[in-house]
Amino acid sequence: MHYLRRCHGSSEAPIYTPLIIPRGLGQMELDKIKDFLSNGTAPRSPSEKEVRYLKGYAWNTLKGYNAAVKKLKKSLSSTYPNGFELPLTGEDIETFCCWAGRDECNPGNHNVVATTLTKYLSGLKAWHLYHKKPYPSEWEGRIEVFLKSSAKADTATPKKPRKEAVHLSHLFFLAEQLIDGMAEEKATLDLALVALWGMARLAELTYDMKDGPLDKSMKLLTSDFSKGDHNQTILLLRSAKTCKPGEVQLIKLMKLPHGLCPTLAVQRRLDKAGSMKTSLFGYNINGRRQHLTRSAVISVLTKTWAKGGFGGLSGHSFRVGGASLGMDLGISTQEI
């Protein structure tokens, strides 16, 4: 049984028909990373050459870098009330580490764990590289000590409760509540079935905007679908979190003999979309295509689970539940 398997590095590509933003990174996408595109706090639009440069990154990587820059700007707002331009100074980096890293004596709601802070610093380095500015690395040894200080504080901080897993009982309840619901609720149910059996992140199956054209290189379209055989459906992800540039991930879904079958969920979405090459997880209202956004999906799921008294579930709960289910079915950890 391989319906939980995710395959990396495939060169297989489906046939597309035009429903794309010509340059690969449209204005809607660029608006999502405007902090990274800015020179310090000064807004800046990228040139065509820079847009091509940005295509070398996975989209989720760029969004992560943008989050790092956004945090950095917040940490320096009092230091530079009138704004600043790159490059940052070594003092700026240390200020950011003290602001974002944990200190058990001075906790703050903006603190992150040391591993996240390390990722943020990588994002700041990429920010400088994009703008062709020198990153302040002369005191890198001091930054490493600040990271160790933050890591020590992490060990003294109570850990957050482990995220709950979505189980079959949750899925049964979800199906009972949404199967006869509105178009958005039916689409959300089908997405939830694929998310669990395919161990997919909601961000990989949802869209950044609720309508309008989609970039084929970033989001899951109805054309990102193929049949392995009569018992298997394959979805191709180009914006998976762990996907390297130029690679795709495959979600292989096995046909199951019950109403919670993920291949039937995909087929329902394809049938609803008809001949349109558009979002796989979406629905039509008055002839206009609506794409499922992550926030809309979370809203439907949260309200539905609240009716059943299910607490502690989040978007990540599908991946946790899918992995747990795979282990229960005897699938190896390596394959999961």
What are the domain boundaries of the chain?
Answer: 30-156, 168-329
Q: What is the pLDDT of residues 299-332, one digit of tens each?
A: 999 999 899 998 777 766 777 655 556 545 555 4
Residue 1 confidence class, pLDDT cut points 50, 70, 90: very low
Q: Which of 46, 67, 54, 45 is nearest to 24 (CA)?
A: 54
- Residue 239 near residue 218, CB atoms below 8 Å: yes
pLDDT digits (tens, 9 = 90+) for 144-174: 999 999 999 999 877 777 667 888 888 899 9
CA distance 247 to 8: 7
* pLDDT, tens only, 240-294: 766 666 678 899 999 999 899 999 999 999 999 998 899 999 999 998 999 999 9
Q: Please name the residues in contact with 66: beta carbons below 8 A apart, sequence gap of 6 or more.
A: 32, 33, 34, 35, 36, 123
State which CATH number among 3.40.250, 1.20.1070, 1.10.150, 1.10.8 fits the domain covering 30-156: 1.10.150
Q: CB of 332 within 8 A of CB of 207? A: no
Query: Is it true that the peptide bond before 136 is cis, omega within 30 degrees of 0?
Result: no
CB 280 within 8 A of CB 270: yes
Q: How far is CA 34 from CA 27, 31, 57, 87, 100, in A?
A: 10, 5, 15, 17, 21
Max Cα–Cα distance, the chain, nearest Å: 63
* Strand extents, DSSP E, 150-244: 225-229, 232-237
CA dist 9 → 35, 179, 183, 258 (Å) = 30, 35, 35, 32
168-329, CATH topology level? hpI Integrase; Chain A (1.10.443)
pTM: 0.70
What pLDDT does residue 18 have?
29
Helix, strand, coil percentages (3-state) for the chain, rounded to 5, are 45, 10, 45
**Residues forming beta bridges with residue 191, ordered by sequence position:** none
24 phi and psi angles, rounded to 5 deg: 90, -30
Question: How far is 281 from 278, CA to CA, in rounded Å?
Answer: 9
276/17 Cα distance (integer angstroms): 9
Strand-pair category, 282-285 with 6-10? unpaired
